[in-house]
Amino acid sequence: MQLGQGEETAVVPIVHYGFPWPADSFQWISPPPQELPELLACRYSRPGCGVPLVVHRGRNPHDPAEVRFFAPQSTFAATVLLRFSDASNDRRSADSFDSAVLEFHDPLRAPRVSLPEGNLPLAGDLTAPLAKTLQTSPRTYLSGFVQPGAQDEPSKLGFLEPYQKGKPPVVLIHGLFSDPQSWADLVNDLRAIPGFCDRFQIWYFRYPTGQGFLRSAAELRQELQVAIQSCDPQRTDPALQEMILVGHSMGGLIAKLQVTHSDDTIWRRLANRPFEEIRADNEDRMRLAAACFFQPAPHVRRVIFIATPHEGSNDASGLVGNVATLLVRQPPEEAQTHRRLLEQNPGVFTDIVQKRLPTSIDLLKPDSPLLDAMREMRIGDGIELHTIIGVTFHPSLHGPSDGVVPVASAKHPGSLSETWTQSPHSKVHRAAETTKEVARILAEHCVKE
């Protein structure tokens, strides 16, 4: 970088400290935004040495891993300071820049910086990158619900930062009529905890919530396998076998389907004939098998359910649920698959799939045969479950609830811990009590592993 005043300039080297991002990621910088978007409740910043900045980078279109797991634009926090190797030189003129180095430090991982005056606090704005991203990224929850087959909103596993060996991924799975941006508060809170970024890495799963959660669960299963193969093809990183899934609302059901034995429990709710006797082309058969037959994922060790409707939600059976179902536009490809299966297998499929492929709303009804099947399915050995439940003061015919999911539905008999927070359904995963409990569970995970 060239620095100076007037016509006199000097080339100043740039050094990066502590970032998981490579040096070529520093493509352009901007100051932290003054205002926070609605999805962020807290700003985590601190005074100290240096100037906080936001670094922006575009993903490399020629890197298959980046294209698959990174957003088109990424942002991250940096603090810049100009260090002079000749401490006695106080002129700060162009001549003195000959001994200067421009340093970029990662404030998420370095709270202090060593200077001639001592080990001093490093300034930082940890929230600024999230704020920038939220200000420039459109929400996708509506299109993902109404048009689940849209090609520009496919199911996708994403990384907030480059893969870091030795750190278990915390995988965030959003709920119905939502998108990954709904996790902004939790991500912001967790990354502000000292040491969190040294111990964990955050991944997220985006999926169109209008499609059935069996398909979404199959897609997450595949995405996680691809991610492990891409990041650790030689299987030398045991941390990738210690994943923690965090699911809000329907995302909790998708998480549960990553750690259960399906056996033929789901299939028996869908058809009256063994799967081997079904007539279907190879592609349709593979899709059915992926959705209905699976084993617990060997790379998942812990699941945190947040406001998850294990017993369904009465909202799905009411007027709101029926109207929402009518809004969902079945993708032409799925409609054709459905028609082929019925034509080739008359009288085989049960009522749940006779009229149309069930939507996510259909599957969340309390009398859903698939929810009944999930209650029968065994959790894998060694999987630890935790539950966070929301509750509001508004009366309900179905007992205490968060306004959408009754407490009785949010409970899970196999949970090691159960925490309640006074929050409505749409904000349970953003509540301060939830962050505190997730942080406690992750700290426990570190101790055990």
- For residue range 52-111, list pLDDT tens digits in order: 999 999 999 999 999 999 999 999 999 999 998 765 454 454 456 667 899 999 999 999
pLDDT at 416 over 80: yes
Q: What interhelical angle do 432-448 and 184-191 show, nearest 10?
A: 50
Cβ–Cβ < 8 Å for 155, 223: yes
Tokens of 325: 């179902």
Q: Hey, how many other C-beta atoms are within 10 angstroms of the C-beta on 335?
A: 14
Distance between CA atoms of 1 and 185, rounded to whole angstroms? 36
pLDDT the model gives residue 351: 87
Distance between CA atoms of 29 and 32, rounded to whole angstroms? 10
**Which comes out higher in pLDDT, residue 161 or 367?**
161
Q: Hey, how many other C-beta atoms are within 10 angstroms of the C-beta on 41?
A: 14
pLDDT at 138 over 70: no
pLDDT at 152 over 60: no
Please give the mean pLDDT across all residues of the chain: 88
Among 41-55, 61-75, 347-361, the least confident range: 347-361
pLDDT at 146 over 50: no
**Of the spans 81-90, 387-396, 428-437, which averages the highest pLDDT?**
428-437
Average pLDDT, integer, range 432-436: 97
Average pLDDT, integer, range 147-170: 82
Distance between CA atoms of 227 and 65, rounded to whole angstroms? 8
Average pLDDT, integer, range 220-225: 98
* Domain assignments of the chain as residue spans, ordered by start: 2-129, 139-448
Cβ–Cβ < 8 Å for 171, 297: no
Task: Please state the pTM of the whole predicted model.
Answer: 0.91
Q: Which CATH architecture has domain 139-448?
A: 3-Layer(aba) Sandwich (3.40)
- pLDDT-derived band at 203 (thresholds 50, 70, 90) equals very high
Instruction: Map residue 336 onto helix, strand or coil.
Output: helix
pLDDT the model gives residue 140: 59
Q: Which residues contact 366 (CB under 8 A, 6 or more apart)?
A: 311, 312, 313, 314, 316, 317, 409
| Stated length of the chain | 449
- pLDDT-derived band at 158 (thresholds 50, 70, 90) equals very high
pLDDT the model gives residue 6: 61
Among 204-213, 225-234, 275-284, the least confident range: 204-213
Average pLDDT, integer, range 385-397: 86
pLDDT the model gives residue 336: 84
pLDDT the model gives residue 326: 43
* H-run or E-run covering 16: strand 14-17
